[in-house]
Amino acid sequence: MILSDSKIRAALREGRIVIRPFRPECLGTNSYDVHLGPYLAVYRAAALDARRANPVEECRIPEEGFVLIPGQLYLGVTEEYTETHGYVPFLEGKSSVGRLGIDIHSTAGKGDEGFCNFWTLEMSVKIPVRIYAGMPVGQLIYFEISGTVDKSYSAKGSAKYRKVSAHPTPSRMHLNFRRPRAVPRKGR
């Protein structure tokens, strides 16, 4: 089930949901509006490698805005730091943002129970669009969990995105390749 505004407020009071900064006017009927933080990053390489760390170049969004262009992936970040304990958060784009042709995530809209961080946005556009730091960009929706969680995201040693950062975090896919591979046994 999706939490209503009253359930989100109760979870905030209990500390099961943390949103900093919290603005009461951003709480909708069953979601909370989040805003674009001040930083954008783009990968430096024209071709990315899933087995390696891919360096990014970061910039601060100027006061006059920044024009996103089609064919380029931008990593943004939410202005809000969030924690979710006992619920599963989903980040979806706002309809007003979608109607400008902006996608805020390509695949990573679901957070894990125990996620405590800023949200990195995987932004792309259909046509050039000028964006601004602080603009509403998405909405968090919280789902109740059925059953107990054995190990929260924040407690998993293998969690790749636990280091808190108010800057966009590039892919850490390369860390998946560091796990030892099983060595095939030779037949007799």
Give tens-digit pLDDT for 144-163. Answer: 998 888 777 777 666 667 77
The predicted pLDDT at position 148 comes to 84
The answer as to whether 184 is a domain residue is: no
Which phi and psi (to 5°) does residue 113 adopt? -60, 130
The predicted pLDDT at position 165 comes to 85
Q: Which domain holds residue 40?
A: 5-147+161-171
The predicted pLDDT at position 179 comes to 59
The predicted pLDDT at position 74 comes to 97
Is residue 122 within 8 Å of 169, Cβ to Cβ? no
* Cα–Cα distance measured from residue 12 to residue 28, given in angstroms and rounded to the nearest whole number: 14
The answer as to whether 152 is a domain residue is: no
Region 83-102: mean pLDDT is: 95
The answer as to whether 181 is a domain residue is: no
CATH number of the domain bearing residue 77:
2.70.40.10
Q: What is the mean pLDDT of the chain?
A: 90
Cβ neighbourhood burial of 42 (10 Å; 0-12, 13-18, 19+):
middle
H or E element at residue 5: helix 5-14
Residues identified as active-site: 122
* Cα–Cα distance measured from residue 69 to residue 71, given in angstroms and rounded to the nearest whole number: 7
Is residue 4 within 8 Å of 30, Cβ to Cβ? yes
Structure tokens at 24: 């009461």
Is residue 41 within 8 Å of 75, Cβ to Cβ? yes
**Domain count along the chain:** 1
Give tens-digit pLDDT for 30-78. Answer: 999 999 999 999 999 999 999 999 999 999 999 999 999 999 999 999 9
The predicted pLDDT at position 141 comes to 97
The answer as to whether 153 is a domain residue is: no
The answer as to whether 103 is a domain residue is: yes
The answer as to whether 27 is a domain residue is: yes
